[in-house]
């Protein structure tokens, strides 16, 4: 009985390590800051972070077609915010919070031919996810990226689809 419980705990723990995605399948694009296009900077919905978003050429070239093409990658740098003396986020003139330290880098990749070991329950449509530390090493987390993106098929599962469209037009 103890070995069964131990096995369940080990299995559950291994799932949670990469619950925010799977870095074995969605790789960190080391040169994204120079090879991808910066298309948006925005406050995150949680009100505690700022996101800077980059798209690879496949994403920018196919954005006008309703869905991004196979091989599209979106990278989101996630920054902590700088609080003012009152503890509230300090905003620039355009309402974007002032960036503090880089907290994480989230990567979305779209593929129609995912390895069978990367199940559909870990994806939103054809999009896979992974979260990395600022240095590009996989970040342990308990987020379930796909869960938040799954309800958004009309925007190809992207929170920033409208801003990407606006940028490429």
Residue scoring higher pLDDT (65 or 50): 50
The model's pTM: 0.84
Tens of pLDDT, residue by residue over 128-166, are 999 999 999 999 877 788 888 999 999 999 999 999 999
DSSP symbols for the chain: -HHHHHHHHHHHHHHHHBTT--TTTS---TTHHHHSEEEEEEE-TTSSEEEEEEE-HHHHHHGGGSSPPTT-EEEEEEEEEPB-TTSSBPB-TTSPBPEEEEEEEEEEEE-SS--TTS-GGGSBTTEEEEEE-TTSSBPPB---HHHHHTT-GGGTT-TTHHHHHHHH-
Tens of pLDDT, residue by residue over 40-50, are 999 998 889 99
Q: If pLDDT is split at 50, 70 and 90, which confidence band does 22 have?
A: confident
Tens of pLDDT, residue by residue over 89-104, are 999 999 999 999 999 9
């Amino acid at each position: 009985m103890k070995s069964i419980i131990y096995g369940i705990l080990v299995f559950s723990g291994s799932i949670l390590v990469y619950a925010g995605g799977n870095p074995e399948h969605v790789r960190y694009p080391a040169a994204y800051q120079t090879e991808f296009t910066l298309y948006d900077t925005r406050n995150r919905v949680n009100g505690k972070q700022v996101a800077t978003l980059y798209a690879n050429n496949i994403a920018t070239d196919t954005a006008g077609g309703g869905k991004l093409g196979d091989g599209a990658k979106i990278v989101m740098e996630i920054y902590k915010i700088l609080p003012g003396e009152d503890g509230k986020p300090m905003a620039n003139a355009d309402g974007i919070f002032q960036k503090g330290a880089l907290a994480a880098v989230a990567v979305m990749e779209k593929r129609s031919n995912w390895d069978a070991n990367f199940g559909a329950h870990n994806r939103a449509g054809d999009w896979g996810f992974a979260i990395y530390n600022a240095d590009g090493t996989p970040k342990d987390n308990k987020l379930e990226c796909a869960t938040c993106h799954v309800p958004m098929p009309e925007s190809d599962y992207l929170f920033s689809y409208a801003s990407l469209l606006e940028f490429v037009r």
